Amino acid sequence: MSLSAVEIIIKKREKGELSKSEIDWLISNYTNNQISDEQMSSMAMAILLNGMSREEIKHLTQAMIDSGERMDFSELSKPTADKHSTGGVGDKITLPLAPLVASYGVAVPQLSGRGLGHTGGTLDKLEAIPGWQANLSNQEMFDQLEKVGAVVCAAGSGLAPADKKLYALRDVTGTVEAIPLIASSIMSKKIAEGTASLVLDVKVGSGAFMKNIESAQKLAETLVSLGKDSGVKTSAFLTDMSTPLGRKIGNALEVEESIEVLAGGGPADVVELTLKIAQEMLALSGIEADPAENLNNGKAMDKWREMISAQSGDLSAPMANAKHSEKVYASKDGFLELDALGVGMASWRLGAGREKQGDKVQDAAGVVLHKIQGDEVKSGDLLAELFTDSAEKMEGSKLDMENAANIVQRSERKPIVLRELR
């Protein structure tokens, strides 16, 4: 059968359902540079506007998996479980979570990414630790999983290369929010990674891609069905991202806060979500345990040190300190409403994030919150401190932070976990 990119684009533009052979042909030829970015941009927009059926998304995900290699952890002596977050502000859950779950004899293969825009990247955070290396070969990753039980590293170039091309295209064509493209992007990497079970943390609110619970629910349902269709034990939590997670936002700052959690302290919301996801990962792996036990007895911290050391990180070496800092104070009495997107933009502008792929981030840049959503404040109370190496970035960041901190007559904190899907 002779296929044409233009005919397939028109079919989707007219709300037709694409066949498996059409989707396979499209992804294969795009990966091999036989279909232009202009044509795939049109297809991405047609998908955003008209959607895809469950079967189409399933075929799209499989085609993206088939564009590269698949990892196989079946020879490991322990079960595998992974977690994926759709991204937010102050979301450092992977850092305490991976060693905590590994402390129960589960292998956690965390192929992570870098931040873009206001959402932080796990690799950027860990690279604030002197010496830590993100890039491992497949064999090095396998060996570390067998020996240590947890690894956080960059995905190799051979894993779902179609996704890398399509992800970059979506970012510059206004199609990031297309649920079929988000779902196939996430799940193609996770299924190709070879994990046996997966817990998805789908963020909802101003600091997330999904701004409302209806779109987040739809995305979560799609992700869970894709996982189950591929034989991966999959569940999802919808979690609040209308306000930042924790009190520290920025790369080195979030490492500091993660270590506080592993030491048995840290903010209540970070601890709660870490334990919730850990318990679900353990349950999917057939292990009944209360993860709070290993968080409090030091076993998770021991595993963290082992995990970081295995990738050449030196936890005894000091992390970077920012050259400049400013404080933000309450302008009146009331209760604090703290908008996640505004705080994320302040941190990004300070240098904690990047405008485009390839930009360098500042390890020490970011925001420390002294008051959080729902706190009662008095005029003159310290709300936040801002940190950067670039004094010229401070003015705009301070304005972002002031705009994000609304003082109102009444404010409440939402529950962290809004819904659960299994």
Same domain, 26 and 91: no
pLDDT (tens place) for every residue of the chain, 422 residues total: 689 999 999 999 999 999 999 999 999 999 999 999 999 999 999 999 999 999 999 999 999 999 999 999 999 999 999 999 998 999 999 999 999 999 999 999 998 887 766 777 899 999 999 999 999 999 999 999 999 999 999 988 788 999 989 988 887 888 988 999 999 999 999 999 999 999 999 999 999 989 999 999 999 999 999 999 999 999 999 999 999 999 999 999 999 999 999 999 999 999 999 999 999 999 999 999 999 999 999 999 999 999 999 999 999 999 999 999 999 999 999 999 999 999 999 999 999 988 776 778 999 999 999 999 999 999 999 999 999 999 999 999 999 999 999 999 988 888 999 999 99
pLDDT of residue 357: 67
pLDDT of residue 116: 66
Same domain, 403 and 303: no
Same domain, 33 and 116: no
Domain end call among 279, 310, 341: 310
Same domain, 343 and 304: no
Give the span between the Cα atoms of 377 and 382, in whole angstroms: 9
Same domain, 214 and 349: no
Same domain, 242 and 276: yes
pLDDT of residue 224: 97
Same domain, 304 and 342: no
Domain that holds residue 336: 324-408
Q: How many distinct structural domains can be found in the chain?
A: 3
pLDDT of residue 1: 62
Same domain, 86 and 149: yes
Same domain, 252 and 331: no
pLDDT of residue 413: 87
Catalytic residues: 84, 163, 170, 185, 189
Same domain, 212 and 349: no
Reported pTM: 0.94
What CATH number did the domain enclosing 365 receive?
3.90.1170.30
Same domain, 376 and 262: no
What CATH number did the domain enclosing 30 receive?
1.20.970.10
